[in-house]
Amino acid sequence: MMKLTVLGSGTGFPSAKRGGPGYLIETGRVSLLMDLGSGTLAKLHGLGVSLEQVGPILITHLHPDHVAELVSLLFALKNILFARREPLCFMGCRGLAALLQKLQAAHGEWIRPTEFPVEVDEMSAEMRQVGDLSIAAFPVEHTAGSVGFRVREASGAVLAYSGDTDFCPALIDLVRGADLAVLECSFPDEKKCAGHLTPREAAQVASRGGVRRLVLSHFYPECEGVDLIAQCRPFFTGEVILAHDLLELTL
Q: Per CB under 5 A, which region of 64-72, 83-91, 199-207, 240-248 contacts Zn ion?
A: 64-72
Binding to Zn ion, residues 156-195 (CB under 5 A) = 164
Do the Cβ atoms of 100 and 112 come closer than 8 Å?
Answer: no
Do the Cβ atoms of 69 and 33 come closer than 8 Å?
Answer: no
Evaluate the omega torsion of the peptide bond into residue 117 and state whether it is cis, within 30 degrees of 0.
Answer: no
CB-nearer residue toward Zn ion: 193 or 230: 193
CA 30 to chain centre: 15
The amino acid occupying position 74 is: L
Q: Shortest approach of Zn ion to residue 13 CB, angstroms?
A: 10
CB-nearer residue toward Zn ion: 13 or 110: 13
Q: How many residues of this chain interact with Zn ion, rule: CB under 5 A?
A: 3
**Position 35 contacts Zn ion (CB under 5 A):** no
Rounded distance between C-alpha atoms, residue 31 and residue 36, angstroms: 14
Q: Shortest approach of Zn ion to residue 148 CB, angstroms?
A: 12
Q: Shortest approach of Zn ion to residue 195 CB, angstroms?
A: 7
**Position 122 contacts Zn ion (CB under 5 A):** no
CA 182 to chain centre: 9
Q: Per CB under 5 A, which region of 62-70, 86-94, 103-111, 235-243 contacts Zn ion?
A: 62-70
User: Using CB atoms within 10 A of its CB, is residue 156 exposed (0-12), middle (13-18) or buried (19+)?
Assistant: exposed
Q: Shortest approach of Zn ion to residue 187 CB, angstroms?
A: 12
CB-nearer residue toward Zn ion: 162 or 207: 162
All residues at 6 or more sequence positions from 2 whose CB lies less than 8 Å from its CB, including other chains: 25, 26, 27, 133, 151, 153, 157, 159, 250, 251
**Position 63 contacts Zn ion (CB under 5 A):** yes
Count other C-beta atoms under 10 Å from residue 11's C-beta.
Answer: 26
**Position 65 contacts Zn ion (CB under 5 A):** yes
Q: Per CB under 5 A, which region of 1-9, 38-46, 57-65, 94-102 contacts Zn ion?
A: 57-65
Chain contacts with Zn ion (rule: CB under 5 A): 63, 65, 164
